Amino acid sequence: MTVRGRFITLEGIDGAGKSSHVSYIADRVREKGRHVVETREPGGTKAGEAVRAIVLHEAMDVRTEAFLMFGARTEHVVRVIEPALAAGDWIVCDRFTDSTFAYQCGGHSLPRAMFEALERAFEPAPKPDATFLFDLAPELAFERQRGQQRTPDRFEREQIDFFRRVREAYLERARNDPKRVHVVDASGPLDQVRANLERLLVPVLA
């Protein structure tokens, strides 16, 4: 019988540096001889990537944004995540449901109960086995993003108070689920953050 794979997610405010660590985690899993699927949200499927292009760049009501995130996630779970886990693969996913609770409920103050109901009703959403939350002050994240050459997307144009609420919502998720959510201090230089991550990753890979 195939042993179900494991599901690892990375979370954090924009500019926390989590995308810099996706392939590192995937490589560490491969070293264990496991097959890995690297993916992201919103995205991960053809329809999900189309939704991503819309939510990152088109103006819309915050509820529209929230429902689009859930629609993209349903595709992702049904077509990619569940089949891969069932086949014994490991998933390393850049953002998942915690992002919705942090951005839409924390950042945009939409009611949490609405999303908890949606989560139950529309998704056969697997719960991540482990989540790494890259945590740093929004002021520092803004400074890092200033170094980037590309045009900021809709989220990146939000004000600092929005990201303070997003960060607090993430930290609350971590406090409520400390066995799953591992908080990585992301305030130092990249190699220091990597070392912080590695310490927390070792028991997850065991």
- Composition of the chain by helix, strand, coil, percent to 5: 55, 15, 30
In the complex with ligand Z5A, the residue whose CB is nearer, 35 or 145, is 145
Interface residue with ligand Z5A, options 127, 139, 148, 199 (CB under 6 A): 148
Question: CB burial class (10 A; 0-12, 13-18, 19+) of residue 150?
Answer: exposed
162 binds ligand Z5A (CB under 6 A): no
Residue 99: name the closest of 137, 68, 69 by CA.
69
Interface residue with ligand Z5A, options 1, 2, 31, 147 (CB under 6 A): 147
Distance of CA 192 to the CA centre of its chain: 21
Amino acid at 104: Q
16 binds ligand Z5A (CB under 6 A): yes
**Binding segment toward ligand Z5A, per CB under 6 A, in 75-83, 151-159, 172-180, 198-206:** 151-159
* Smallest separation, CB 93 to ligand Z5A (Å): 9
Question: Are the CB atoms for 52 and 108 separated by under 8 Å?
Answer: no
**Binding segment toward ligand Z5A, per CB under 6 A, in 76-84, 99-107, 113-121, 177-185:** 99-107
In the complex with ligand Z5A, the residue whose CB is nearer, 56 or 205, is 56
Tell me, residue by residue from 61 to 90, as one string, x for binding to ligand Z5A by CB under 6 A and - for no binding: --------x---------------------
95 binds ligand Z5A (CB under 6 A): yes
Q: What residues contact residue 206 under an 8 Å CB cut-off, 6+ apart?
A: none
DSSP letters for 132-173: EEEE--HHHHHHHHHT--SPP-TTTTS-HHHHHHHHHHHHHH
Question: Are the CB atoms for 81 and 93 separated by under 8 Å?
Answer: yes
**Binding segment toward ligand Z5A, per CB under 6 A, in 1-9, 30-38, 112-120, 152-160:** 152-160
What is the binding site for ligand Z5A (CB under 6 A)? 12, 14-20, 41-42, 56, 69, 95, 99-100, 103-104, 144, 147-148, 153, 155-156, 189-190, 193
